[in-house]
């Protein structure tokens, strides 16, 4: 039998079957983590009034978006904590802990009483649950990206690693799909009263399955690497500070674009375009499904044209097309036209999402790979990705919504500039 594991626990190149199973197992936890995290965003239209005092729709959404953004502030801590665990104790241990934590946070939200029942404790406990989930997701990205980059075959790393965003988007898709189904079987009154709790409870149950699958994973890091003094340390990370700063740069633009055209877009279609919530949910469900399917295609393309070229396409097109797309969506009346515009934006973002994990992992040595990927991603994501909804809604409430369009454009241009510093094959940095 040619399929085997090396003495250090690393899969050999011929073990394709085990690699595929490992990708599926690792991805299952990733899907559950992101399902739990995004359920909050997609259900906020229904529970905003329960946790916050009465007010107009924009104010309530702004408050729930603030809690959503606060969850991102825990990501740098999660990126550091779980990155250190992954580099010193193993990728598998880190991924098992993170999915358990996400399960707990989701279960708490599912059972949490509203403002009318416990007063200010309601939004306070909601915030605490989201901070707990943010800690978990902050560690999930770096560890899973590192694991998938190490498990993937040379020459096909872009294709294999793209499945991280397949499951990340899949988590979003599953979250909004559950909401769409609930919209069909429950009345608006039932959804606002208790129906919104169902997806959070589902996420907690799904985590049990993911935990079982992840327990069967093979470890990809080597014992002697984990035993190095610099493994998972800031000292080791400091030696790779240029890579760290570059990842911060292009992640800022990539994350902002991603969250603008995924989690925030449903609210944008309802709150700005004037589309009915049910119609907006269907549009985003179909768009996310197509978005998910094209990740492996563009990931495989990056194996041919290089990571650098893919990132330059993303940065350049993001800078050129963001303002026209968002401006056109302001005045669109047809859901088909809205879908086409959103899909155009998602294709552009795909040149970042499909390779972001593998690109970042390729820029750090094994002993600080999970820490370097996780922390740099988490910091940029907390500052720019998680705040996207809050910034957009704040600018809208101030009567300056178009300023947000230019903000996304500038960050796309930054991603383009940083990507110019990548080697032509997309690995590492130009020293």
What residues does each domain of the chain span? 23-419
Q: Looking at 357-423, which runs of residues are DSSP E strands?
A: none
Q: Are 78 and 136 in contact (CB under 8 A)?
A: yes
23-419 CATH choice from 2.40.110.10, 1.10.10.10, 1.20.1250.20, 2.40.160.10: 1.20.1250.20
**Could you give the 3-state DSSP secondary structure of residue 90?**
coil
**What is residue 15's predicted lDDT score, i.e. its pLDDT?**
66
**What is residue 383's predicted lDDT score, i.e. its pLDDT?**
85
**What is residue 429's predicted lDDT score, i.e. its pLDDT?**
46
Task: Show the low-confidence residues of the chain (pLDDT under 70).
Answer: 1-16, 53-61, 68, 424-431
* Structural tokens at position 3: 């399929």
In sequence order, the β-bridge partners of residue 5 are 11
Q: What b/e string do you get for 340-349 counting C-beta neighbours within 10 Å, with b at 16 or more?
A: ebbbbbbebb
Q: What is the pTM of this model?
A: 0.81
pLDDT in tens, 337-396: 999 999 999 999 999 999 988 898 888 998 899 899 989 988 888 888 878 888 998 898
Among 30, 242, 237, smallest CA distance to 148 is for: 30
pLDDT in tens, 61-80: 677 777 767 777 788 898 89
**What is residue 297's predicted lDDT score, i.e. its pLDDT?**
95
Determine the Cα–Cα distance for residues 188 and 418; give it in Å rounded to an integer. Answer: 46
């Amino acid at each position: 039998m040619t399929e085997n594991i090396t003495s250090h626990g690393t899969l050999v190149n011929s073990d394709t079957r085990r690699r595929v199973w490992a990708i599926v197992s690792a991805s299952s936890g990733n899907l559950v983590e992101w399902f739990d995290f995004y359920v909050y965003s997609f259900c906020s239209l229904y529970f905003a009034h329960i946790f916050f005092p009465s007010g107009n729709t924009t104010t309530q959404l702004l408050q729930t978006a603030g809690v959503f953004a606060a969850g991102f502030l825990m990501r740098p801590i999660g990126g550091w904590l779980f990155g250190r665990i992954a580099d010193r104790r193993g990728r598998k241990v880190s991924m098992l802990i993170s999915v358990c934590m996400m399960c707990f946070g989701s279960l708490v939200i599912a059972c949490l009483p509203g403002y009318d029942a416990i007063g200010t404790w309601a939004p306070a406990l909601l915030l605490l649950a989201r901070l707990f989930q943010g800690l978990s997701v902050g560690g999930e990205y770096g560890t899973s990206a590192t694991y998938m980059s190490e498990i993937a075959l040379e020459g096909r790393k872009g294709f294999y690693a793209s499945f991280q965003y397949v499951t990340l988007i899949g988590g979003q898709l599953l979250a909004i799909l559950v909401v769409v189904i609930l919209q069909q079987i429950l009345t608006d009154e039932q959804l606002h009263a208790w129906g919104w709790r169902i997806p959070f409870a589902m996420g907690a149950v799904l985590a049990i399955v993911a935990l079982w699958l992840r327990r069967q994973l093979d470890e990809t890091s080597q014992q002697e690497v984990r035993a190095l003094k610099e493994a998972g340390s800031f000292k080791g990370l400091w030696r790779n500070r240029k890579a760290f700063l570059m990842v911060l740069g292009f992640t800022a633009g990539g994350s902002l674009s991603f969250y603008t055209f995924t989690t925030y877009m449903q609210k944008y279609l309802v709150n700005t375009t004037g589309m009915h919530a049910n119609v907006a949910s269907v549009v985003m469900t179909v768009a996310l499904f197509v978005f998910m399917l094209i990740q492996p295609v563009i990931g495989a393309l990056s194996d041919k044209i290089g990571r650098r070229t893919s990132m330059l396409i993303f940065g350049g097109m993001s800078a050129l097309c963001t303002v026209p797309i968002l401006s056109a969506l302001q005045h669109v009346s047809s859901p088909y036209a809205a879908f086409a515009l959103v899909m155009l934006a998602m294709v552009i973002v795909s040149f970042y999402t499909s390779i972001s994990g593998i690109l970042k992992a390729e820029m750090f040595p094994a002993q600080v790979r999970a820490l370097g990927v996780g922390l740099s991603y988490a910091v940029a994501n907390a500052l720019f990705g998680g705040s996207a909804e809050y910034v957009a809604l704040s600018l809208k409430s101030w009567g300056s919504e178009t300023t947000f369009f230019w903000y996304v454009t500038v960050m796309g241009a930054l991603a383009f500039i940083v990507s110019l510093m990548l080697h032509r094959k997309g690995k590492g940095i130009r020293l």
